[in-house]
Amino acid sequence: MAFGVIKNVRKVFQLEEIGWTALEPVVALDDATFEFEEGELVALLGPSGCGKTTLLRIVGGLIAKSAGSVAIAGRQVTKPMGDYGFVFQAPSLMPWRNVLDNVLFPMEILRKNDAAARRHAHELLELVGLSGFLSARPHQLSGGMQQRVALCRALVHRPRLLLMDEPFGALDELTRMEMNDLLLRIRHETRASVLFVTHSISEAVYLSDKVVVFSKRPARVVKEITIPLAYPRSQKVRFTSAFTAAERIASEALGVVAPTADEAPAHAAQEAWRQ
């Protein structure tokens, strides 16, 4: 059985959940289904507001689904799990805590803030290049540095599944590319499985083993794209024909690019990657 199994998931937000601005319940997800293996990095790609974040929160046990099932490592998800890590678009660091204490906060909640936890926090901060900023407060850090702290905080308890909701969306392009490379390095070091929400086609292709493409709301899975680009990856891969082909297939699935009669079908491009 696959490590993660999302099957026929549906989410309807009732009026009391979304406020009185809506005239009727909102269907955010409709029959979303896909699987992923342990250790995979899977990008959830779709238009803004299509329901990707809703699905991520359901997988994380933060909100309840209306129908369907979600199982991670053979366990049905009905509440937050202790071996999950979360990284959101806003770092949401505690301004009164320094960098090290922000990273260690989950260990305090778990009552495991011992010497081993502190050693692991130091290792993570060194890995992301922040070993010289242990005593700094969040307001003294750049946006990219704050997000690195948030990433360490999500990893400090050694989660099996890392859930990331457009974590680099607010960063400038250069910093975003640096964070992409950092995530790939951390993923290699920790072996965590990752679900990564994004609306960037390029980011989805660059990071992932597999891209799951969603329709406009209500979100349905319209295509699953295996990305046969070898790890480790560098920014040079963006200029290869295989990368361009994957972007094209994802763009067609999103409806951004329409296939034309004189072009080979998308599956032919996928086969060309293997040549």
Over residues 194-218, the pLDDT tens digits come to 999 999 999 999 999 999 999 998 8
- Of the chain, the percentage scoring pLDDT greater than 70 comes to 91
Do 61 and 119 fall into the same domain?
Answer: no
Q: What is the DSSP letter of 230?
A: P
Do 26 and 142 fall into the same domain?
Answer: no
Residue 256 banded pLDDT, cuts 50, 70, 90: confident
| pTM summary value | 0.90
**CA pair distance 153, 206, nearest whole angstrom:** 24
Do 78 and 43 fall into the same domain?
Answer: yes
Domain that holds residue 24: 4-83+161-234
Do 150 and 165 fall into the same domain?
Answer: no
Do 146 and 58 fall into the same domain?
Answer: no
Where among 125, 158, 191 does a domain terminate?
A: 158
Do 9 and 71 fall into the same domain?
Answer: yes
Domains: count for the chain: 2
Residue 261 is assigned to a structural domain of this protein: no
Do 127 and 195 fall into the same domain?
Answer: no
Say which residue, 169 or 102, is predicted with more confidence.
102
**CA pair distance 159, 72, nearest whole angstrom:** 12
Do 18 and 144 fall into the same domain?
Answer: no
Show the CA angle centred on residue 274, arms to residues 247 and 257, nearest 5°.
Answer: 20
